[in-house]
A and B are shown apart, each in its own frame.
Chain A
């Protein structure tokens, strides 16, 4: 009796979601729901696509996971903590455990590639010695070891996104959130970024990717959450891009 109880609790522990949305709604403007009563779980080590037409609320979901915004109602939990309840200093601590990548890269243009990646570590007060060790390693993982002295404006879009990815990953986040990471990239570069994300996921990081790229979603056969007008219209364990008819 006792043994089986412990076993099931262990199982539950393993199955415990890293990200949990529980009846979440968001009203930017009173009375207009950008997100309407959304509930879903993402488990540790999952790779999840979030798709849907423009304005359907995908970025809003990501922003709530980052604790950039709070839900108007419902709860968002990450690693068992309710994000709305985090205090200011806890928010910065929380963000250190997640990595984020955006469509527009958000690199610092007055710093070269190395310094952009070093900056992320500087911010969380990594010792300089460790920064010198970790940065080149991270840059070679994303294939930019040679370009560490280049400035963002000297790089292609794909290269810039790889720098952003290196920056997001250098602090070993347990969750990686990407909002249209390939939105500004050509197919070849898009695939390179996706392969990198897949690799990161294989090493144990939970990955959530918002994308409009139907081909990638269809080929990769990952879990797909589809949004439409703030409502989740489907959640497929292994699937392709669903076209939401208006």
Chain B
């Protein structure tokens, strides 16, 4: 076990290394930041798509709209027709008033006030049909579209399919970028440590002469790498935290409609995973980058 004073000394020397080596340290932190920022965005997208798709499968079914001026008995008849289908697990009637009430919750007071007592969604009464097997959705939609009095059938799979495709592309591109950036970050940290060692060559050789242990000689450089990794992961995490709020808010405002609410994971759920994973990645890259370089560089010094 190292002494407290040694730990203190190593920390101090590590910070000193970073300051002395400002250009490389900044470049390393910058690359690390970019890398983990991308990782964060990648994680946001993947996690949310998975969440949305899961939601879609379990809760969002098929929405059935009626022709204008349809009678109540006709609506009941359509309901009965839906009920006969085996793939339907549940269906629910939502009146135009309910639809409007639901949507109101997402609007500001002023926005609602502009409509007065009118229901701007008066043609929006519909059935929501939940399936017990999403793969049967196409067949069901075909069946429902042919029913008398049905104006439009919205299914969610189309959307989900596009999402899954985008998701995959985003995944591949991000993974490739992240791997490249991890490589660059490791390289830069390695360069930082290499310069640090060459600057301190004399000091290290004196340390060796006096009888410093390997641990004592390495510790400041490990501290340097780990600090760069920590800073390089905390900065993007901070950015991502602030950004996530804003983007979710924006997407919800812009793209929500009364029939389909976009549900996103909340910040705390996302960060419960993203925070430790990013931090571990940053520290891991920093540690490995300096550790691997040290062995090679220190052997050159007598």
Residues of chain A touching chain B, judged by Cβ–Cβ distance below 8 Å, are 66, 68, 88-89, 92-97, 100, 106, 108, 119-120, 122-125, 127-128, 167, 171
Bound CA–CA A158/B213 (angstroms): 30
Say which one of B1-9, B79-87, B89-97, B257-265 lies at the interface with A: B1-9
Contact: B206 with A108, CB < 8 Å?
yes
B55 within 8 A of A: no
B113 within 8 A of A: no
A93: which B residues are within 8 A, CB to CB? Answer: 211
Q: Closest 10 A-B residue pairs measured CB to CB?
A: A95-B211, A96-B211, A123-B212, A128-B5, A92-B211, A123-B210, A92-B213, A125-B6, A120-B210, A125-B3
B5: which A residues are within 8 A, CB to CB? Answer: 122, 125, 127-128
Residues of chain B touching chain A, judged by Cβ–Cβ distance below 8 Å, are 2-3, 5-6, 9, 202-203, 205-214, 216, 302
Query: Which residue of chain B lies nearest to A128 when distances are taken between CB atoms in the complex?
Result: B5
Q: How far is the CB of B242 from chain A (nearest CB, A)?
A: 40
Contact of B9 among A92, A96, A97, A122 (CB under 8 A): A122
A96: which B residues are within 8 A, CB to CB? Answer: 210-211
Contact: B214 with A88, CB < 8 Å?
yes
Query: Which residue of chain B lies nearest to A167 when distances are taken between CB atoms in the complex?
Result: B210
Contact: A124 with B211, CB < 8 Å?
yes
B209: which A residues are within 8 A, CB to CB? Answer: 66, 68, 95, 100, 106
Max chain A C-beta neighbours (<10 A), residue from B208, B210, B302: B210
A127: which B residues are within 8 A, CB to CB? Answer: 3, 5
Contact of A124 among B2, B202, B205, B210 (CB under 8 A): B210
Bound CA–CA A97/B207 (angstroms): 14
Contact: A68 with B211, CB < 8 Å?
no
Contact of B211 among A106, A123, A128, A167 (CB under 8 A): A123
Contact: B202 with A92, CB < 8 Å?
no
Q: How far is the CB of B284 from chain A (nearest CB, A)?
A: 26
Bound CA–CA A60/B203 (angstroms): 22
Contact: B214 with A108, CB < 8 Å?
no
**New A-B contacts (9) at CB < 8 Å, excluding given A119-B206, A124-B211:** A88-B214, A92-B213, A94-B211, A96-B210, A106-B209, A108-B202, A123-B210, A125-B2, A167-B210
Q: Do most interface residues of chain B lie in helix, strand or loop, or is the interface mixed?
A: helix
Query: Which residue of chain B lies nearest to A170 when distances are taken between CB atoms in the complex?
Result: B210
Q: How far is the CB of B294 from chain A (nearest CB, A)?
A: 14
Bound CA–CA A242/B54 (angstroms): 94
Tally of A-B Cβ pairs under 8 angstroms: 51
Beyond A106-B202, A125-B3, is A68–B302 a contact (Cβ under 8 Å)? yes
Bound CA–CA A119/B210 (angstroms): 10
Contact: B212 with A92, CB < 8 Å?
yes
Query: Which residue of chain B lies nearest to A66 when distances are taken between CB atoms in the complex?
Result: B209
Q: How far is the CB of A16 from chain B (nearest CB, A)?
A: 23
Contact of A89 among B6, B207, B210, B213 (CB under 8 A): B213
Beyond A66-B209, A95-B210, A100-B209, is A125–B203 a contact (Cβ under 8 Å)? no
Q: How far is the CB of A69 from chain B (nearest CB, A)?
A: 8
Q: How far is the CB of B178 from chain A (nearest CB, A)?
A: 37
Contact of A125 among B202, B206, B208, B216 (CB under 8 A): B216
A-B contact pairs, 23 of them (CB 8 A): A88-B214, A89-B213, A89-B214, A92-B211, A92-B213, A94-B211, A95-B208, A95-B210, A96-B210, A100-B209, A106-B202, A106-B205, A106-B209, A108-B203, A119-B206, A122-B9, A123-B216, A124-B210, A124-B211, A125-B3, A125-B5, A127-B3, A127-B5
B205: which A residues are within 8 A, CB to CB? Answer: 106
Q: How far is the CB of B2 from chain A (nearest CB, A)?
A: 7
Bound CA–CA A94/B302 (angstroms): 16
Bound CA–CA A182/B205 (angstroms): 21
Bound CA–CA A95/B205 (angstroms): 13
A94: which B residues are within 8 A, CB to CB? Answer: 211
Bound CA–CA A108/B212 (angstroms): 15
Bound CA–CA A88/B207 (angstroms): 14
Bound CA–CA A120/B208 (angstroms): 10
Query: Which residue of chain B lies nearest to A109 when distances are taken between CB atoms in the complex?
Result: B202
Max chain A C-beta neighbours (<10 A), residue from B202, B213, B302: B213
Query: Which residue of chain B lies nearest to A110 when distances are taken between CB atoms in the complex?
Result: B203
Beyond A127-B3, A128-B5, is A92–B214 a contact (Cβ under 8 Å)? yes
B9: which A residues are within 8 A, CB to CB? Answer: 122
A167: which B residues are within 8 A, CB to CB? Answer: 210
B207: which A residues are within 8 A, CB to CB? Answer: 123
B202: which A residues are within 8 A, CB to CB? Answer: 106, 108
A66: which B residues are within 8 A, CB to CB? Answer: 209
A97: which B residues are within 8 A, CB to CB? Answer: 211
Bound CA–CA A108/B163 (angstroms): 61
A124: which B residues are within 8 A, CB to CB? Answer: 210-212
B3: which A residues are within 8 A, CB to CB? Answer: 125, 127
Bound CA–CA A106/B212 (angstroms): 16
Bound CA–CA A143/B190 (angstroms): 43
